[in-house]
Structure 1
């Protein structure tokens, strides 16, 4: 790893099943955990983490399979299930001495955070979600031509072999395409950070695909089981999503309210990488969440 969050201490902490995670820790006070999305690393939180560290202990890991964290082989689909990845986070925070913590995630990290909120309500005190809908709902709403924006979801859902080969053979072009098309303000991801994202992603093709493949399999099964059981998120939840207007094709706030009775749903004019494009707005929303 060539870049880091200034002033944060870097540690390798245990998750579950002997997996070690690269974790940046800074600040002091009640703990807040920030989980990154695709195709990024913990660095996507660099602006937000520094601001929150003024009043909180901020814990910013690379998810298993990403960045400088371990990348175990996907010998079963559970290795990269969001349930397993959520258990990693609870374990590493407990290793730091905290039994309760606020949790926010973006994109893939938001799906891990969602699962942590369902599986570990005794640990997660507040939950922040940036620009995603739950896995089960995502597959239900991806229909027709608008689903083309999620082509990568369908590609990485295919059986092992072909997706890994295709992506590895053009990794920079593949991962850069998302950085280029999902940001309304490309300057928010400077060249050195962009290069770090591409380098880290190129070295993690197999595990990234395994993460996505789990979301077309075991993650759907587990979400459906919770839906059938009437499970909901017990803690205050803030969801921040892009303002797509009528282009979205569904009511994202309604989707989230079915899972989160105590919901603050917000729209932003920023692009998908909102923690980098509009950090002040994201910090303000998270601080409001932490006060609930």
Structure 2
């Protein structure tokens, strides 16, 4: 897994980011989702590394990265995590780059593109719509299907205490419920997600991430909407046909936030690049080129 990639850690001030880097060519930043780590790119990162310098970090607090020692919700906004990635890429000598994000990483990615339009050349968002749009569509049926948003955002230490009791069970539960083809996820990758979720610091960080999603991140999205801000770089939106986002047309949603959008649904559930790596690459490679 990640043969030919090098591991390193980069201190960005409030956080210490663990990442793998491989390949040669224009820089490409891959941002993972929940409840995962950078390992969720293991099926497509080596192929992308044939044409790009691929950087696959763990977001602050996730995986083997470390966040603030005394975490607060405002330290886990998409904006703060995007600033981490600015520092990471700057330290590696990269001022402009392409970004591909999945799930929580895609939320960091679109905030990144809104806050730092001069740095993001292209953006691919996998299986999300903007956070504000998600919340505005959350009727009782959507809330039932997306209960984890409301559960994880409850005050500390309620979700942390419950998750720490059976972290591996919870990771398995999410995979079984969100994947159309759970058996397409590599057991070695799942074991890595479980290992990281056994760390109470990771559980705490992920809960703060979701608390920010239902508070400060919404403030930032509302501010961007009010200001008429739009993502100016080309955007590729991909989603799983069997994922929860297909109750509406994601492209129509993204057209309200970006000037140039294309994309489509893929034959899979939420874990797009792990369930359908070939189909994902078939869309990503021409878009990124």
Which TM bucket (shorter chain)?
A: over 0.9
Alignment gaps of 5+ in structure 2: none
1:221-236 equivalence runs, <5 A: 221-236=219-234
Structure 2 distance, partners of 1:100, 1:70, is 25
Residues 28 and 246 from structure 1, CA distance in 2 versus in 1: closer, same or farther, beyond 3 angstroms?
A: closer
In the TM superposition, what whole-angstrom CA distance separates every residue of 1:222-273 from its partner, at most 9, and x where no partner exists? 0100000000001000000122599943332211110012001211111111
Paired residues, what number?
A: 287
Q: 1:200 aligns with which of 193, 196, 199?
A: 196
Deviation per CA, 1:110-130, whole angstroms, max 9, x where unpaired? 000011010111001000000
Tell me what 2:283 maps to: 285
Contact 1:74 1:80 in 2 (8 A): no
- 1:276 deviation in Å? 0.9
Q: Is the CA contact 1:141–1:250 (under 8 Å) kept in the aligned structure 2?
A: no
Which is worse superposed, 71-80 or 270-279?
Answer: 71-80
Structure 2 residue matching 1:264: 3-state secondary structure: strand
Structure-1-length-normalised TM-score: 0.94
Cα distance in 1 for partners of 2:36, 2:71 equals 24
SS in structure 2 of the partner of residue 145 of structure 1: helix
Structure 1 residue corresponding to 2:138, chosen from 126, 139, 142: 142
RMSD of aligned Cα (Å): 1.6
Report the equivalent of 2:5.
8
What is the match of residue 251 of structure 1?
249
- Which consecutive unaligned segments of at least 5 residues does structure 1 have? none
How far 1:175 moved relative to its partner?
A: 1.8
Please give the alpha-carbon distance, in whole angstroms, between the structure 2 residues aligned to 1:185 and 1:126.
29
- Given that residues 127 and 245 in structure 2 are in contact (C-alpha distance below 8 angstroms), is that contact kept between their aligned partners in structure 1? no
- Is residue 2:102 matched to residue 1:106? yes
Distance 2:80 2:37 in 1: 18
How has the CA–CA distance of structure 1 residues 156 and 73 changed in structure 2, closer, same or farther, with 3 Å as cutoff?
farther
Distance 1:247 1:114 in 2: 17
Which of 67, 74, 79 in structure 2 is aligned with 1:78?
74
Task: Give the structure 2 partner of residue 166 of structure 1.
Answer: 162
